[in-house]
Amino acid sequence: MRLEKCWFCSSTVYPGHGIQFVRNDAKIFRFCRSKCHKNFKMKRNPRKVKWTKAYRRVHGKDMTQDSSFEFERKRNRPERYDRNLAENVLKAIPKIDKIRVTRDERHHKNRMKGKKEKLQKEAAKELEQGISLVKAPSALRKDPSLTLPQKIKVSVSQRQSEDNNAMEE
């Protein structure tokens, strides 16, 4: 029993899931679900489909080469069983996983490095350009800071008196 990788999206295919397609030249394509299978039948290139791992690797969104990938390799020759070795392996797998995950995160952080600065600059520009939508020019002249103006309260009584005056006339 083996966990395989989906040919299209590179996610793991657990036993009992997915479809396997064998082509006439004996190449085997495994798919994790019908979404991947249908995309394959449509002859879509996974390197161009945004949500697949292949795309992410090709476009540098995810880490490609790393020494932590070297540990997991399909071995064709079985090794004779050794209890100590088995113990070590079972202990090592979570460690390797953890390291891989931290490296992934680091990669992501590196990718996102300049983002905050960029966002701040954009926000500042937008604020400066769009202040006229929320603040009248006269108010801006009076108070040149780029903030919302002070709300002016109009009293109701003033209005009533106006009305009464008109009626009396």
Partner 1 sequence: MVQYNFKKITVVPNGKDFVDIILSRTQRQTPTVVHKGYAISRLRQFYMRKVKYTQQNFHDKLSTIIDEFPRLDDIHPFYGDLLHVLYNKDHYKLALGQINTARNLIGKIAKDYVKLLKYGDSLYRCKCLKVAALGRMCTVLKRVGPSLAYLEQVRQHMARLPSIDPNTRTILICGYPNVGKSSFINKITRADVDVQPYAFTTKSLFVGHTDYKYLRYQVIDTPGILDRPFEDRNIIEMCSITALAHLRAAILFFLDISGSCGYSIAQQAALFHSIKSLFMNKPLIIVCNKTDLQPLEGISEEDRKLVMEMKSEALKTVIGQGGEATSDDSVLLTMSTLTEEGVISVKNAACERLLDQRVEVKMKSKKINDCLNRFHVAIPKPRDQKERPPCIPQAVLEAKAKEAAEKEKRKTEKDLENENGGAGVYSMNLRKHYILANDEWKEDILPEILDGHNVYDFIDPDILRRVEELEREEGIRQAEEENDEFEIDGAELTPEQQAALAEIRKKKSLLIQQHRIKKSNAESRPTVPRKFDKDKQYTSERMGRQLSKLGLDPSLAIQRMRSRSVSRRGRKRDRSPEGADGGDRMDVDGDTPGKKQRLSRSRSRSRSVSRPPHEVVPGEGLKDSAQKIKAIKLAKKSVKKRNKEARRGEADRVIPTLKPKHLYSGKRSTGKTDRR
Closer to partner 1 by CB, 25 or 70: give it. Answer: 70
Burial 94-118 (b: 16+ CB within 10 A, else e): eeeeeebeeeeeebeeeeeeeeeee
Stretch of 17-25, 35-43, 44-52, 97-105 lying at the interface with partner 1 (CB under 8 A): 97-105
Name the β-bridge partners of 21: 29
Closer to partner 1 by CB, 41 or 142: give it. Answer: 142
101 binds partner 1 (CB under 8 A): no
Q: Taking the alpha carbons of 17, 19, 22, 28 in that order, is the dihedral positive or negative?
A: negative
Residues in 8-67 at the binding interface with partner 1, rule: CB under 8 A? 12, 67
Residue 9 C-alpha from the chain's centroid? 16
75 binds partner 1 (CB under 8 A): yes
152 binds partner 1 (CB under 8 A): yes
- Count of residues of this chain found to bind partner 1 when the rule CB under 8 A is applied: 67
Where do we find the tokens 């292949």? 54
Q: Dump strand ranges (E) for the chain.
A: 4-5, 12-13, 19-22, 28-31
Residues in 106-145 at the binding interface with partner 1, rule: CB under 8 A? 106, 113, 116-117, 120-121, 123-124, 126-127, 130-131, 133-136, 138-140, 143, 145
Is the separation of the CB atoms in 12 and 4 below 8 Å?
yes
Name the β-bridge partners of 31: 19
Chain residues that interact with partner 1, rule: CB under 8 A: 1-3, 12, 67-68, 71-75, 78-83, 85-86, 88-90, 92-97, 99, 102-103, 106, 113, 116-117, 120-121, 123-124, 126-127, 130-131, 133-136, 138-140, 143, 145-154, 158-159, 162-163, 166-167
